Amino acid sequence: MDEKLFGAVDAFVGETIVSEDEVLRGAIEAAEVAGLPAIQVSPPQGKLLQLLVRLVGARRILEFGTLGGYSAILMARALPEDGRLISLEARAEYAEVARASIDAAGVGEKVEIRVGPALEALPGLEGKEPFDLVFIDADKVNTPNYFAWALERTRPGGLIVADNVVRGGTLADPGGDEAALAQRRLHEMLSGDSRVSATTIQTVGGKGYDGFLIALVEPV
């Protein structure tokens, strides 16, 4: 793996078609200062999220895994004025950093962070309007559980995106670790499920070799 080269390509894309402004750099900086791991989506991946938000005309977004708020800021920016994003974060200290960065980005009104393990937050989201887009990016072992929940609560024509499903290629390894096996389970679960049409795209970049799954929710 040539991570230096992948990083250089991301950097060139960043200098040309994917701009990261002061506010986003500030969010990364604040997260770093607070000691959060630098595992946010890359700028090109974040731009893809923004394009997807716009393509589906999303007004309601659910995110699993806030970290320092980087992906939340990007998606919130792509929402219309009355659009809303709920982001679930297990760690209160991360949520605090995210809250400050999201407010500083000027999208505070659009974003609600709910602190606690996502599985415990889900009952509180029942009975609301369906989501237009769900971004799953929290604890990887639970990705299939989050997906199953999201599938029932995303409108037809909406999208469910799951990050980190390829995991250095361990997706292809039946003897991988728990997190990798969970991604295999997710794929097996979707195989032959007519409620979604999905694909997985492998990615390289500064963070290495991984990939994301994108699923379009079909009308029933």
Binding residues for Mg ion, rule: CB under 5 A, are 137, 163-164
Q: Is 10 in the site for ligand SAH (CB under 6 A)?
A: no
Name which of 28 and 195 has its Cβ closer to ligand SAH: 28
Name which of 83 and 135 has its Cβ closer to ligand DHB: 135
Q: Is 94 in the site for ligand SAH (CB under 6 A)?
A: yes
Q: Shortest gap between Cβ of 192 and ligand SAH (angstroms)?
A: 28
Give the whole-angstrom CA distance, residue 102 versus residue 107.
6
Give the whole-angstrom CA distance, residue 34 versus residue 55.
34
Q: Shortest gap between Cβ of 41 and ligand DHB (angstroms)?
A: 7
Contact between 216 and 157 under an 8 Å Cβ cutoff? The reply is yes
Q: Shortest gap between Cβ of 108 and ligand SAH (angstroms)?
A: 16
Q: Shortest gap between Cβ of 203 and ligand SAH (angstroms)?
A: 13
Question: Element (H or E) spanning 179, and its range?
Answer: helix 178-190
Look up residue 58 and give its two tokens: 């999303």
Give the whole-angstrom CA distance, residue 45 versus residue 64.
16
Angle (CA) 48-83-91 rounded to 5° is 75
Residues 132-161 that bind ligand SAH (CB under 6 A): 137-139
**b or e along 24-40 (b: 16 or more beta carbons within 10 Å of the residue's beta carbon)?**
beebbebbeeeebeeeb
Q: Which of 118, 159, 162, 196 binds ligand SAH (CB under 6 A)?
A: 118
Q: Shortest gap between Cβ of 153 and ligand DHB (angstroms)?
A: 22
Binding site for ligand SAH (CB under 6 A): 39-41, 65-67, 70-71, 88-91, 94, 117-118, 137-139
